[in-house]
Amino acid sequence: MSGNVADSAISPTSPAQTIPADLSGQMLELDEDDDLEVFSKDTSITDGGSFNASMPTSPGSMINQYKFDEEDEQEDPGAKDIFITVDNPESHVTTIETFITYRVLTKTTRSEFDSSEYEVRRRYQDFLWLKGRLEEANPTLIVHPLPEKFVMKGMVERFNDDFIETRRRALHRFLNRVSEHPILSCNEDFKIFLTAQAWELTSHKKQGPGFLSRMGDTVRAVAASVRGVKSRPEEFNSMQEYVEAFSQKMTSLDRITQRIVKEEREYLEELKEYAPTYTLWSGSEEELAEPLKGVASCVDRCFQETEEQVRQFSDTLAPALHEYVLSAETLKAVLRRRDFIQAELEAKNEALAAKRADRDALKEEIDKLEDRMEWANNALKGDWSRWQRSMRTDLKEVFITTAQKNVDHYEKCLAVWESFLLSMRSEVGDINQPSSDDS
Amino acid sequence: MMADTGSEEVAVIGNTDLTPGEIENNIKNTMGEVGDEEIVLPKKMEINVAEAEKRTVKNAVNMQETYTVYLIETRPADDASEGTNPTPDSLWRRYSEFEILRSYFLVAYPHVVVPPLPEKRAEFVWHKLSADNMDPDFVERRRVGLENFLLRVASHPILASDNIFYSFLTEENGWKEAVLETGFQAKADSRLKALNATFRVKNPDKRFAEMKHYGDELQSVISQLLRVRARVADRLYGVYKVHGNYGRVFSEWSAIEKEMGDGLQSAGHHMDAYAASVDDILEEEEHYADQLKEYLFYTDALRAVCRKHELIQYELEAAATDLSTKKQQQEELATGTVRTFSLKGMTSKLFGQETPEVREGKMKVLEGQIQEGEEALKEKNTECDEFVRSAWSEIERFKDQKNHDLKEALISYAIMQISMCKKGIQVWTNAKECFNKM
């Protein structure tokens, strides 16, 4: 029996998701259904969509299908009905350990929430737990990555301010992305994460699948990976290829960006001594004192502007690229989990063909597995195009911002030097003024 | 400028420079060589160091030696030749010959701030630039530096009319012999020794002392500036070049994307262009560095003039001291009193007075010496005054030139920075447009 997803009663679905079998009539009234408000923006009734895996997997239930299409891009930001902020990191010291908690503030008009505002404190472990639960409930949906546990390179301390800030931003993005996902945002654990008080969450966490059943899952996963998939559908093969290549490119871009930051910092180190040298010189001069001080001040301004520019790379571009490195790993895991389901199915089919075990029981299992396979594949396909759109939007935006920041940087430096030049020439009244429009 | 009495020490430091008389002789001698025509020292001459070439010869110990020679082209730029544009005269010179010419100037015109030669070996290099003397970029920059040197000399009111300079420009063979005949080389060595000797001047001229101090400061600060600039250039190079990797990866990435492919690909090209742009930027900056270097090297010449003044001043003081000692001795001899201790005085006290005849003889000798001393002092005074006058006007001239040139250099540096910013704006604006199309 498959254990960890479809039949699990562990993650209670939100009321909105237990949709009765005969849905055809109700589909047309989605917009009026407050509970499903979150879906109304981006759904249409066609096949090929996917739905929450916690639903009983009967073919009938597959009628309620959603397709993630171009409408996603036209999401009206004004229609957003849940706003989550992660801020205010605080350090907690106990006898056993020291850790950071973050304030998670939720403001929502969604009816499944009893109140319109919640404020809780969560630590990184809690986020990890949430992500795990989301993936368990939806193995082939693409969940936004979490920031890493710790960074080896450079031995960044866990309690270093920059590290905490970077992590805070990533956690903020994580929760917001989950809240924007049509299926994940309805997840019950997500709601509990946002609303439960510390002790409530702890006790809820304890209700998770037992150790033994988790062990069983792991064993099966290993067995499945050893078994391998016999005939993976072509589209998943091309997804696999894409993900491999994408992951490589992102890793390269991440590394290049880190390297640029490093080089810029070393450049700034040297530049720091440059302006003072001109100032020192101006002390020995009379007529040259003004021009020298002018150059010193220009160099100094450019130094400050460069510091700003580096910040853009390190605070915005690098984290964004790094997130997609992690996201690529998520994609690989999703594809693996899908393969795992397929491998199980294939194994069961082989067993049937070999007429080994009880045929009827086996047939029933296979039916269930086939349902699981189908919605797993559809879920992945749907989320895949959603992911691609997000990726394109995210990276396009961050590249544009970076390019703009660089343009701004050069324009500011240009202005500084041009005004210096102007002051020099107005003194001399240069006859032979070379045009400043040289390019 | 009179020196006071005081120290007993009388050091005689020989005059290491060519006297005006000697210089005149030179002109007369070379006049004879060139011919009987009147020497026209063209005040306006177009000078051009046009090319550089490698030569390989077997030297005195039969080993292969490679060196670079530079083609010097000259063309009289007076009214008569305007419109005719005659072909230039030209000859080849190597760096060591330039060095000889400069050494000659230093000895012949000690009050002149002699323009410096471009550096012998590449210094203050940042990593990409070669420190190799045979490197074509280095040779090219040296060619420019040598031309600059000749132009500086040609525009100097005193140096330009020197005959050795004229024949340097016009006579490929025989020049070396002519310059050696001036005997400057022997003088060059002792000049150097004298300038480096330690001696104390009792009444230093404040202006010259300040100028020497300024020369030291300028040397120190320009060296520091050149060092820092080279390091900054090195780092900037690194920053730009790493961006080239974006170009490569964007291109590879575009291959797996559908909608984003074109935008990424063209953005990648702009990243390549950005990375490549740093080469031109830094090459231009080398010219700026060369301008600074020229004045760095000028400080040596400036210091030498100040030092020369100190030397003359010291000699003047020595001559005055010598004279006053002699006069004192004369007085003692006349009055019979011994105020100053001397071995002679002691022995005469011990062994009896001298005879009047002996005393008479000594007086006569002293009188002669005093007369010589007074003449020597007068000469020294004149020399000192003349030197102060001409050296100070030279220094003023140098100061104005320095202020003008360095200000221009700073302005051109600003222009370079502006150009660099404009390139940056262009590249990133283009890249942004490509990203927009993603």
pLDDT reading at B96 higher than 70: yes
User: What percentage of residues in chain A have a pLDDT greater than 90?
Assistant: 47
Q: Is the per-residue pLDDT at B86 higher than 50?
A: yes
**Is the pLDDT assigned to residue A220 strictly greater than 90?**
no
- How many CA atoms within 13 Å lie on the side-chain side of A193? 31
8 Å CB contact of B267 and A264: no
CA-CA-CA-CA torsion for B146, B151, B153, B158, nearest 10 degrees?
Answer: 170
pLDDT of residue A73: 45
> What pLDDT is stored for residue B253 in this prediction?
95
Measured in angstroms, the CA of B391 and the nearest CA of chain A are apart by 20
Contact B243 A298 (CB under 8 A): no
Which residue among B246, B252, B425 sits closest to A414, beta carbon to beta carbon? B425
Nearest to A366 by CA among A349, A383, A378: A349
**What confidence score (pLDDT) does residue A76 get?**
53
Predicted ipTM beyond 0.85? no
Q: Are strands B89-94 and A82-93 parallel, antiparallel or unpaired?
A: unpaired
Taking CB atoms and an 8 Å limit, are A280 and B231 in contact across chains?
A: no
Please determine, for residue A25, whether its predicted confidence score (pLDDT) is greater than 70. Answer: no
**Is A296 part of the contact surface with chain B (CB cutoff 8 Å)?**
no
- Percentage of residues in chain A having pLDDT higher than 70: 71
Amino acid residing at B415: I
Test A277 with B225 for CB contact under 8 angstroms.
Answer: yes
| A chain contacts of residue B231, beta-carbon cutoff 8 Å | 270
Residues of chain A numbered 360-419 and touching chain B (CB < 8 Å): 392, 395-396, 399-400, 403-404, 406-407, 409-411, 413-414, 417-418
Structure tokens at A198: 């510390």
Q: DSSP E strands: which ranges in B178-269?
A: none
Instruction: Determine contact: A272 vs chain B, CB below 8 A.
Output: no
Please give the residue of chain A at the shortest CA–CA distance from B216.
Answer: A284
Give the span between the Cα atoms of A273 and A280, in whole angstroms: 11
Decide if B221 touches A, using CB distance below 8 A. Answer: yes
Pairs from A88-91 (Cβ < 8 Å, separation ≥ 24):
A89/A164, A89/A165, A89/A168, A90/A121, A91/A159
- Interchain contact, A417 vs B421, CB within 8 Å: yes
- CB nearest to B432's CB, from A298, A407, A418: A407
Select the highest-mean-pLDDT range: A183-197, B59-73, B335-349, B421-435: B421-435
Q: In chain B, which residue's Cα lies nearest the Cα of A438?
A: B419
Residues B421, A407: C-beta atoms closer than 8 Å: no
A400 vs B contacts (CB less than 8 Å): 432, 435-436
Residue A281 touches chain B, beta carbons under 8 Å = yes
Split at pLDDT 50, 70, 90, the class of B255 is very high
For chain B, say whether A277 makes contact (Cβ under 8 Å).
yes
Interaxial angle between packed helices B261-335 and B136-154, expressed in degrees from 0 to 180 and rounded to the nearest 10: 50
- Rounded distance between C-alpha atoms, residue B386 and residue A87, angstroms: 81
Q: Write out chain A residues lying below 8 Å of B252, CB-based.
A: 249
Amino acid at B188: A
- What percentage of chain B exceeds 90 in pLDDT? 47
Q: What pLDDT was estimated at residue B46? A: 80
Exposed / middle / buried, residue B390 (Cβ in 10 Å: 0-12, 13-18, 19+): middle
| Burial readout B274-309 (b: 16 or more C-beta within 10 A, e: otherwise) | bbebbeebbeebbebbbbbbbbbbbbebbbbbbbbb
pLDDT of residue A359: 78
Reported confidence tier of residue A121, pLDDT bands at 50, 70, 90: very high
Q: Is A324 on the interface with B (CB under 8 A)?
A: no
Tell the burial category of A359 from Cβ atoms under 10 Å away from its Cβ (0-12, 13-18, 19+). exposed
B428 touches chain A (CB under 8 A): yes
Query: So what's the pLDDT on residue A416?
Result: 97
The string of DSSP codes covering A39-54 is: HHTT----SS----TT
Report residue A98's pLDDT band, with 50, 70 and 90 as the boundaries. confident
Q: Under an 8 A CB cutoff, do B410 and A292 touch?
A: yes
CB pairs under 8 A between A and B: 152
Confidence tier at A151 by pLDDT (50, 70, 90): low
Q: How far is A267 from chain B (nearest CA, A)?
A: 5
- A319 CA: distance to closest CA in chain B (Å): 16
Is the pLDDT assigned to residue B33 strictly greater than 60? Answer: no
Residue A92 to chain B, least CA–CA distance (Å): 41
Residue B49 φ then ψ, to 5°: -95, 100
For the four alpha carbons of B167, B168, B170 and B175, in that order, the dihedral sign comes to positive
- Cβ under 8 Å to A: B residues 332-371: none
Mean pLDDT of chain A: 78
Q: What is the spatial order of strands in the sheet that B64-76 belongs to?
A: B45-58, B64-76, B89-94
For A375-428, what is each residue's pLDDT tens digit?
Answer: 999 999 999 999 999 999 999 999 999 999 999 999 999 999 999 999 998 765
**Edge-to-edge strands, sheet with A117-123:** A82-93, A98-108, A117-123
CB burial string B149-188: b at 16+ within 10 A, e below: bbbbbbebeebbebbbbbbbbbbbeebbebbeebebeebb
A163 at B interface, C-beta within 8 A = no
Give tens-digit pLDDT for B66-81: 888 899 988 876 655 5
Q: Which residues of A touch B411 (CB under 8 A)?
A: 291, 421, 424-425
Contacts of B425 in chain A (CB under 8 A): 407, 410-411, 414
pLDDT above 90 for B423? yes
Q: What is the mean pLDDT of residues A255-260?
A: 95
- CA-to-CA dists, residue A16 to A137, A139, A296, angstroms: 16, 20, 66
Please state, in angstroms and rounded to a whole number, the distance separating the CA atoms of residues A49 and B54. Answer: 77
- Does the global pTM surpass 0.90? no
Nearest by CB to residue A403, choosing from B406, B419, B432, is B432
Identify the pLDDT of residue A176: 94
- SS3 of B40, please? coil
Report residue B359's pLDDT band, with 50, 70 and 90 as the boundaries: confident
Q: Are B403 and A357 in contact (CB under 8 A)?
A: no
- B383 pLDDT above the threshold of 70: yes
Is residue B85 classed exposed, middle or buried when 0-12, 13-18 and 19+ CB atoms within 10 A define those classes?
exposed
CA-based nearest distance B103→chain A, Å: 29
What is the average pLDDT score of chain B? Answer: 83
Which of A248, A305, A414, A435 to substitute to test the interface with B, most B CBs within 10 Å?
Answer: A414
Find residues 366-405 of chain B whose CB sits inside 8 Å of chain A. Answer: 403
Closest-CA residue of A relative to B231 is A270
Confidence of residue B204 (pLDDT cuts 50, 70, 90): confident
**What are the tens digits of pLDDT across the range B304-334?**
999 899 888 988 998 899 898 888 888 887 7
- B438/A284 touch (CB, cutoff 8 Å), yes or no: no
pLDDT of residue A158 exceeding 80, the answer is no
CB within 8 Å: B242 and A407: no
Half-sphere exposure of A358 (CA within 13 A, CB side): 4
| CB pair distance less than 8 Å for B242 and A274 | no
Give A271's contacts in chain B (Cβ within 8 Å): 232, 235
- What local confidence, expressed as pLDDT, does residue B417 receive? 96
| pLDDT for the residue numbered B330 | 84
Q: pLDDT tens-digit profile of A317-326?
A: 999 999 999 9
Per-residue pLDDT reduced to its tens digit, A44-61: 333 333 333 344 444 433
**What's the whole-number mean pLDDT along residues A356-361?**
71
**B102 burial class (0-12, 13-18, 19+ CB within 10 angstroms)?**
middle
**Cross-chain residue pair B403–A287, CB shorter than 8 Å:** yes
Substitution target in A269, A406, A419, A423 with the highest count of B β-carbons within 10 Å is A406
Q: Which of B235, B403, B421 sits opposite A266 (nearest CB)?
A: B235
Q: What is the 3-state secondary structure (H, E, C) of A280-311?
A: HHHCCCCCCHHHHHHHHHHHHHHHHHHHHHHH
In this complex, do B414 and A424 lie within 8 Å of one another by their Cβ atoms? yes
Residue of B nearest to A290 (CA): B407
Q: What's chain B's length in residues?
A: 438
Maximum C-alpha span of chain B: 123
What pLDDT, on a 0 to 100 scale, did the predictor assign at position A257?
A: 95
Of A246, A288, A403, the CB nearest to B407: A288
Task: Report the pLDDT averaged over residues B245-253.
Answer: 95
Q: Rounded to an integer, what distance in angstroms lies between the CA atom of residue A250 and that of residue A245?
A: 9
Lowest mean pLDDT among B166-170, B181-185, B335-339: B335-339
**A237 close to B (CB below 8 A):** no
